[in-house]
């Protein structure tokens, strides 16, 4: 603090050597090569007394050149400094080269306290647009700052006025940039508003203003290109956002933009492009496609016909894609042959070494866990045989038969793997059941690990299994956490890369 005071005194002495009008020239108007004035540097360094001195000596009507001191305080998230500078009320409207005022930057950087202070000084700043047509709430949505969005919504109640130069509302922008938290908040906001109005109308006998209907309209609102938020989420390959939107019954899954495309048409184009270019099927493109297919989204027939014409018009490109698909499917079949054979081998070994066997006869015929062991090992054995037969026959068949066989194979192979795990649990339990503490501990650990095995298998092969049957609600509920986990992994991988 003493060092800061000394700096303030030196600046004061320097300025006192000139006329009082020189305060404006030296402290506010003069800038360095980085377009930073003296007061900006003082704010950036956190010298409150220096800033206060300059503000006291400068004319009321004078504004600083270069970068705004308010933006420096917002960037440092220095609330005390921000309060000091806000004594100059007109500075709150200072624009930079991008046409942005301080409130734009407070929203962009998620500085909620700064947003509250700025709105306390000027409520109309929430309706100021920058050079790109963005309101402060658009920038907060773009960066995923939910708390800032909540605050700004108090000052921007009419969503029809909250659109950018492309006609996109805050839900469009949040969906485009994959901000799942903002999307979820907006989707739930309508339900909260509806509940509040219901309570008010029932207990206070007031007529509801139907404010929630405005938020309901926002969900399927289109921009100037006819894109809904779901279109933009699919185009940006944001699976968590696509999944959240498809779970909401108010969302129109089959909306068509000006290009004649539904969200699934967009996801199809991106998915098949990535699939033929890269054989990894757990990419966001595949997950977005999976979310739409599982929700029952449809393709535009006109768009499908156009796609077919494009395919037939370019024979060389089509043949290349088929060869890539064949390579992928045959490689997948070859890989799955190994675990299928291993499960079959383990099942046979378990049948030849029945727990509790003596002189060729089982001694645990009355034990329920032994009955469970027999059931599980039987299912595992024949499931693995069926899987192996499918893999061998599929590799000799046509391409479309191979793809169909692999879709049937995944659940069967999963069943074999799970029942083999349960057979191990039941078989070993029958051997150690005479020792209560050991058998109880073993049972608890084995059940937990069996659940983990099921979850990991479902997690690994979800993209291959989910789309066809999962429009059924129970399966969608079962797959919810697995899907969210895969989407989370994809997000982490993208951030790392």
Find which of 11-20, 214-223, 342-351 is predicted with most confidence, using mean pLDDT.
214-223
pLDDT of residue 468: 45
pTM: 0.71
**Does residue 409 belong to any structural domain of this protein?**
yes
Contacts of 160 (CB under 8 A, 6+ apart): 214
Residues recorded for the chain: 497
Average pLDDT value for residue range 228-233: 96
The pLDDT confidence band at residue 277, using thresholds 50, 70 and 90, is very low
| Residue 17 resides in a domain | no
- Asked if residue 447 belongs to a domain, the reply is yes
Q: With 50 as the cut, is the pLDDT of residue 470 above it?
A: no
* Cβ contacts of 218 within 8 Å, gap of 6 or more: 159, 169, 170, 171, 186
pLDDT of 263 reads 94
Reported as a single tens digit per residue, the pLDDT across 158-177 is: 777 789 999 999 999 999 99
Number of domains in the chain: 1
Evaluate whether 105 touches 75 at the Cβ level (below 8 Å): yes
Sign of CA dihedral 263, 269, 274, 279: positive
C-alpha pair distances (Å), 231 with each of 135, 161, 171, 177: 22, 21, 12, 12
Greatest mean pLDDT range, 112-121, 345-354, 357-366: 112-121
Please report, for the chain, how many H helices and E strands are present, in that order.
Answer: 23, 2
- One-character DSSP codes across 403-429: HHHHHHHHHHHHHHHHHHHHHHHHHHH
| 391 within some domain | yes
Has residue 437 been placed in a domain?
A: yes
How far does CA 312 lie from the centroid of its chain?
Answer: 37
Residue 453 lies in a domain: yes
- What is the domain extent for residue 347? 326-465
Other CB atoms within a 10 A radius of the CB of residue 463 amount to: 18
Whether the per-residue pLDDT at 242 is higher than 50: the answer is yes
Is residue 458 in a domain? yes
What confidence score (pLDDT) does residue 449 get? Answer: 85
| pLDDT band per the 50, 70, 90 thresholds, residue 140 | very high
Residue 474 confidence (pLDDT) above 70: no
Structure letter (DSSP) for residue 361: E
Beta bridge partners of 31: 37
Give, in order, the Cα–Cα distances in Å from 86 to each of 82, 128, 254. Answer: 6, 18, 49
- Is-contact 128 92, C-beta < 8 A? no
Task: Name every residue whose Cβ is closer than 8 Å to that of residue 144 and which is 6 or more positions away in sequence.
Answer: 174, 177, 179, 180, 181, 182
Average pLDDT over residues 450-477: 61
Backbone angles phi and psi of 140, in degrees to 5: -65, -40
> Which of 160-174, 317-331, 356-370, 427-441 is predicted most confidently?
160-174
Is 408 part of a structural domain of the chain?
yes
pLDDT given at position 226? 94
What are the φ/ψ torsions at residue 357 (nearest 5 degrees)?
-80, 140
Dihedrals φ, ψ of 252, to 5°?
A: -80, 105
Residue 142 has pLDDT above 90, yes or no: yes
DSSP string over 262-323: -HHHHHHHHHHHHHHH---TTSHHHHHHHHHHHTT----HHHHHHHHHHHHH-HHHHHHHHH
């Amino acid at each position: 603090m003493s060092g800061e005071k000394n700096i303030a005194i030196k600046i004061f002495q320097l300025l006192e050597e000139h006329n009082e009008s020189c305060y404006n020239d030296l402290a506010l108007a003069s800038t360095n090569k980085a377009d930073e004035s003296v007061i900006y540097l003082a704010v950036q360094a956190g010298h409150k007394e220096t800033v206060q001195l300059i503000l006291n000596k400068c004319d009321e009507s004078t504004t600083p050149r270069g970068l705004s001191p308010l933006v420096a305080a917002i960037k440092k998230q220095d609330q005390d400094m921000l309060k000091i500078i806000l004594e100059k009320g007109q500075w709150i409207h200072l624009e930079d080269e991008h046409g942005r005022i301080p409130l734009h930057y407070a929203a962009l950087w998620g500085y909620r306290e700064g947003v509250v202070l700025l709105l306390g000084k000027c409520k109309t700043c929430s309706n100021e647009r920058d050079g790109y047509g963005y309101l402060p709430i658009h920038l907060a949505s773009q960066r995923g700052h939910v708390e800032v969005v909540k605050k700004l919504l108090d000052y921007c109640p009419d969503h029809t006025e909250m659109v950018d130069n492309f006609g996109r509302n805050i839900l469009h922008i949040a969906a485009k940039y994959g901000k799942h938290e903002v999307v979820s908040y907006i989707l739930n906001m309508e339900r909260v508003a509806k509940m509040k109005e219901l309570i008010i109308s029932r207990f206070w006998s007031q007529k509801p203003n139907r404010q929630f209907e405005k938020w309901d309209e926002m969900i399927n609102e289109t921009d100037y290109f006819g894109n809904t938020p779901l279109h933009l989420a699919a185009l940006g390959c944001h699976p968590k956002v696509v999944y959240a939107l498809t779970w909401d019954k108010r969302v129109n899954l089959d909306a068509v933009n000006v290009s004649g495309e539904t969200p699934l048409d967009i996801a199809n184009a991106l998915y098949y492009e990535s699939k033929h270019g890269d054989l990894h099927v757990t990419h966001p493109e595949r997950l977005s496609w999976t979310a739409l297919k599982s929700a029952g989204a449809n393709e535009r027939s006109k768009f499908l016909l156009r796609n077919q014409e494009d395919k037939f018009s370019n024979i060389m490109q089509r043949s290349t894609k088929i060869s890539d698909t064949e390579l992928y499917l045959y490689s997948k079949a070859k890989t799955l042959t190994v675990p299928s054979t291993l499960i079959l081998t383990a099942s046979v070994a378990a049948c030849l070494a029945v727990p509790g066997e003596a002189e060729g006869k089982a001694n645990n015929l009355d034990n329920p866990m032994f009955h469970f062991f027999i059931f599980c090992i039987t299912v595992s054995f024949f499931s693995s045989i069926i899987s192996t037969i499918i893999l061998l026959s599929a590799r000799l068949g046509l391409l479309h038969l191979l793809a169909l066989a692999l879709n049937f194979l995944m659940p069967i192979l999963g069943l074999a793997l799970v029942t083999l795990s349960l057979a191990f649990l039941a078989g070993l339990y029958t051997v150690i059941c005479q020792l209560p503490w050991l058998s109880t501990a073993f049972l608890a650990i084995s059940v937990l690990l069996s659940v983990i095995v099921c979850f990991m298998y479902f997690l690994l092969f979800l993209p291959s299994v989910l789309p066809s049957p999962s429009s059924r609600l129970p399966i969608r509920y079962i797959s919810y956490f697995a899907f969210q986990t895969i989407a989370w992994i994809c997000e982490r991988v993208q951030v790392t890369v």
